[in-house]
Amino acid sequence: MTNILLDPRRTVVFAGDSVTDCGRRTDPDGLGDGYVRNLYDDLGERQPAIVNAGISGNRAADLAARWAADVLTHDPSLVSIMIGINDTWRRYDEDDPTTPEDFEASYRSLLDPLSCPVVLMEPFLLPVKDGQEEWREDLDPKLDVVRKLAVEYGAILVPTDVELTKQAGSVGPAALAGDGVHPSAAGHRALADLWRRYVLDA
């Protein structure tokens, strides 16, 4: 995988929600100030073309609706996807749930048209607010979907939820994500490091 990434002739697209977006739509470079930016900086002079296609608030179905225009049009050499926390969150703040079955159907519609290597990053939750522990009832089945699809489609799985939960045990969840969902600078650094570990160093 390293050979694919360390080649300026290649294009890597990162797709997702606000965790990926991080202000990229108002950033002159289009990268935002989160883990995508960290990875861009980390890869140095031999970096591929990096496209941030994250949009804050998106659910899996939203990604599916804009997939051709925002992802496939770039003819990517690799696509990295992190989606799912809003599919859970909307159940609790807007009474608008997404079933695991619907989540899986939307996710499959992202994967089916791809003919390049794929990275699936788990959506994650680091509970810091009252009631967030209850979100696990909704999120865990969606994590099972992501893990199953990674195996089925031969994708690289970055176990973001597992690894950040471990780190939160040492530094506290708020150090990584102040509201349990949106990473701090340290959280984005951790995401970038995990991506490099599981994608570049595997």
- By three-state DSSP, how is residue 155 classified? coil
For 77, other C-beta atoms within 10 Å of its C-beta total 17
Token pair, residue 29, equals 């470079």
Active site residues: 18, 179, 182
Task: In whole angstroms, give the CA distance from residue 36 to residue 54.
Answer: 10
49 sits in which H/E element: strand 49-54
Task: In whole angstroms, give the CA distance from residue 143 to residue 47.
Answer: 30
Comparing CA positions, the residue from 18, 85, 88 lying closest to residue 56 is: 18
Q: What is the chain's Cα-based Rg?
A: 16
The position carrying tokens 């289009």 is 30
Q: 61, 98 in Cβ contact below 8 A?
A: yes
The position carrying tokens 């990295």 is 80
Task: In whole angstroms, give the CA distance from residue 130 to residue 142.
Answer: 21
